[in-house]
Chain A
Amino acid sequence: MRPIIRLLVLTALALAAPLGVARAQINGSPPPLMGQPSYHLYSVPIIRSGGVEPFFECTNTSSATIRVGVEAFAGPGGAAINDPSATSLDIPPSGSVIFGPTNAWVPPNSNPGIGPIGHGSARILASDKKGIICTAFLADVFNAPPTSMVHLNIVSKLKQRGD
């Protein structure tokens, strides 16, 4: 293929892949967050069933703003089931955000749009390799305070250290 045609084909492919649309599975390359390259910081096995849904709360411990997104995967695996870019947020220095669904007890900053998957996983992405710390938990979304909650393990990238 001539160089000019190859360039045109590549450009067309790039235009057909809009910014932020997730395609990779959990061990794939993380998608950009609103045009910024992202890094896979943490993985979290999750449940979304029976009125219990996952919440992710992250804090920026650095001195510069960092964008963070949550990408979810269904139980059978495969491609992401939500758009981590469109639901990502900038966290200012020392700021914190909650990613989670609408619920009775705390207004989330962003709903990552995790559908009724039963069980699956999520990975936390950020536009910087360092500076973001997170916690995750399951909680009842119908009652304030929630009738049940439980901490979820946060795994560094894909390597679980064990409790």
Chain B
Amino acid sequence: MRPAIRLIVIIIALGLTTPVGVAQGQVFTDPPPPLMGQQSFYLYSVPGVVSVGGLTTMFACTNTTSASIRVGLEIFGDAGGAAYNDPSATSLDINAGGTVRFAMRPALGFGFSGDLIAGGVNAGSARILATAKSGIICSAFIADAGNAPPTSMAKLTVVKATKQRGE
């Protein structure tokens, strides 16, 4: 096959097998997948994600810039391997100065902007992706999902990419 034709075939094949919104990242070490077709950057990691035993995990992210930024979360389960959810389909645009809250599942005590649709997670983790390298700040916490106000809540550590500096 001539080089030019081979190149066209490869481009078409990649284009057809990489639909917008499908998660590409499989593990922490993989490049972050695009968020609704936009390149994304790996900002933070959150160990301690739980969605069992009456508990849910919430992630609140704020856009501190003057332009809209899309944010998505990838959830990984106990055994590692592929992400449990589609970070692109569940990603959200955050307006300038705006804040959104992502939830592992609905909670009586809190409204939320986006359900991560990741199913039950016993001991998991998340990585937070965004379409800008800077300008997004996040907090994460575990909360009782069945009572308002929650019977219990606990902050989770938010690590910059994969480097934990300690508190």
Where the two chains meet, the residues of A that have a C-beta atom closer than 8 Å to any C-beta of B are: 41-42, 57-63, 91-98, 104-107, 109, 130-140, 143-151, 153-157, 159-163
B50, B123, B151, B164: residue with the most chain A Cβ atoms closer than 10 Å: B123
**Assuming A139-B154, A145-B144, is B47 touching A109 (CB within 8 A)?**
no
**Contact between B152 and A106, CB atoms less than 8 A apart:** no
Find the A residue at minimum CB distance from B144: A145
Which B residues touch A148, using CB under 8 A?
152
Q: Which of A42, A97, A140 sits near B78, CB closer than 8 Å?
A: A97
At the interface, yes or no: B125 with Cβ under 8 Å from chain A? yes
Tell me the total A-B contact number using a CB cutoff of 8 A: 151
Interface 9-mer from B6-14, B51-59, B64-72: B51-59
Whole-angstrom distance from the CB of A31 to the nearest CB of chain B?
Answer: 21
Find the B residue at minimum CB distance from A91: B80
Give the total of B residues in contact with A, Cβ under 8 Å: 43
A106 CA / B55 CA spacing, docked (Å): 9
Whole-angstrom distance from the CB of B105 to the nearest CB of chain A?
Answer: 13
**Assuming A59-B45, A63-B29, is B154 touching A149 (CB within 8 A)?**
yes
Find the A residue at minimum CB distance from B141: A151
**Contact between B53 and A93, CB atoms less than 8 A apart:** no
**Contact between B28 and A62, CB atoms less than 8 A apart:** yes
**Contact between A42 and B52, CB atoms less than 8 A apart:** no
**Contact between A96 and B164, CB atoms less than 8 A apart:** no
Find the A residue at minimum CB distance from B29: A63
**Contact between A106 and B165, CB atoms less than 8 A apart:** no
